[in-house]
Amino acid sequence: MRAGSADGSGMAALTLSCRLAAHPDSRCWFVAWSPSGALLASCGGDRSVRVWGRQGENWVCQAVLGEGHQRTVRKVAWSLCGSYLASASFDATTCIWKKTPDGFECVTTLEGHENEVKSVAWSPSGSLLATCSRDKSVWIWEVDEEDEYECVSVLNSHTQDVKHVVWHPSQEVETTRDPSLTLACQLLASASYDDTVKLYREEEDDWVCFTTLEGHESTVWGLAFDGAGRRLASCSDDRTVRIWSSDEQGEPGVACSSTEPSWKCICTLSGYHTRTIYDVAWCRLTGAVATACGDDAIRVFEEEPLAEPQHPTFALTAHMSRAHAQDVNCVAWNPAEPGLLASCSDDGEVAFWRYQRPECC
């Protein structure tokens, strides 16, 4: 199966390399690559988490984490060291699994949300975990050396169901002009049914929402920072992807200082998707942006090289129109192997794709 770019002139291709019936008779909701890129975790409506590893050309199931949750598992996330897996479930809990030589064992269950947990994410520092829920709140947990988790903040900034949380990729953010203003400052982003994206950081020992990104006309489902953390992509039920940037006055770099960095939308990709866009993934290695859509398709976009940094344009370089038999829920770029993309769908399957970049770029 090959799919070329929309205008037919491009050299880009998205080729299927493997398809798995990962969560049979169920939906597969999310896939996440381990930090080394060697393993893929998937989770689904069958209440289980599965871990897949490569065996030659194929992917085989190496572990089934089936005893952790009473309801659908909606998201999974690997810790930065790759030794832990967190799973967020509709049963209102988040399980933390530790990788052992025999498989995975559940070391802790985080409770507190009032209803379905929709997302979980580990911070780049490794010491914080964020969860969000249909109860409209975002929780931040701190983990210590003894694997003890403690809730350090409950943020009630959204007015509706919070769908996704994602951490800024850097542990520290700095201004380019003045190195002394480098602050150890972690940034968290959340997306919600209330059509907004909110950003949070720690101020005086407490976490606060310091800005709200408005512009989407419907539920925001997914978020992805670019590799440098200078830009944020969001995808929505309004069938657009928006790119946000905090660069001020043309200066590169994310300013995390006492002056308010203002985030604004610098690009909107509209007219490409015919249904809700459920997920967006920004490759750290190549800069390609992949989307998972309710029209069963996967699309890949690349930034035009000659555009100004503050006014980027993206071109559609690949469009696989029947990537799955049903809604595509998630896309994920392998962190170590450029061009390797995993996806999953309501049809219960996980698919692996090879993306070949257009030769003109």
Partner 1 sequence: MHRAACAMAAADSKTDLFDGILMAEERFHGEGYQDGYAEGNRIGVTEGRIYGSLHGARIGSEIGCYLGFALTWQCLLHKCTNEKHSKKLKALESLIGMIQKFPYEDPTYDKLQEDLEKIRGKFKQAKTGTNIQHWNPAIGIA
Residues near partner 1, by CB under 8 A: 111-112, 114, 137, 139, 148, 150-157, 205-206
Residue 76: other Cβ atoms inside 10 A? 24
| Nearest-approach distance from CB 151 to partner 1, in angstroms | 4
Q: How many CA atoms lie within 13 A of 338 on its CB side?
A: 7
172 vs 260 by CB, closer to partner 1 = 260
**Which CB atom, from 150 or from 260, has the smaller least distance to partner 1?**
150
174: CB partners within 8 A, 6+ apart: 181, 182, 183, 253, 256
- Which of residues 111 and 178 has its CB atom nearest to partner 1 in the complex? 111
Min CB(114)–partner 1 separation in Å:
7
The DSSP call for residue 327 is: -
Q: Which two tokens stand for residue 298?
A: 């996967």
Q: Which is nearer to partner 1, 114 or 260 (CB)?
A: 114
| Shortest Å distance, C-beta 127 to partner 1 | 14
Residue with Cβ nearer partner 1 (137 or 186): 137
CA-based nearest residue to 123, from 136, 134, 138, 106? 138
CB of 81 to partner 1, least distance (A): 23
* First-to-final CA distance of the chain: 23
CA dist 348 and 351 (Å) reads 10
The least CB distance from residue 225 to partner 1, in Å, is 25
d(CA 172, CA 184): 5
Task: Choose between 206 and 308: whose C-beta lies nearer to partner 1.
Answer: 206
Q: Which is nearer to partner 1, 65 or 129 (CB)?
A: 129
> In angstroms, what is the minimal distance from the CB of 25 to partner 1?
33
Shortest spacing between CB 140 and partner 1, in angstroms: 9
Between CA 338 and CA 286 the distance in angstroms is 7
State in angstroms the smallest separation of the CB of 135 from partner 1.
Answer: 9
Q: Which is nearer to partner 1, 80 or 152 (CB)?
A: 152
Exposure string for 90-124, b = 16+ CB within 10 A, e = fewer: bbbbbbbbebeeeebeeebebebbeebbbbbbbbb
Distance CA 346, CA 361 (A): 34
Q: Which of 227, 226, 194 is nearest to 213 (CA)?
A: 194
Distance CA 36, CA 121 (A): 17
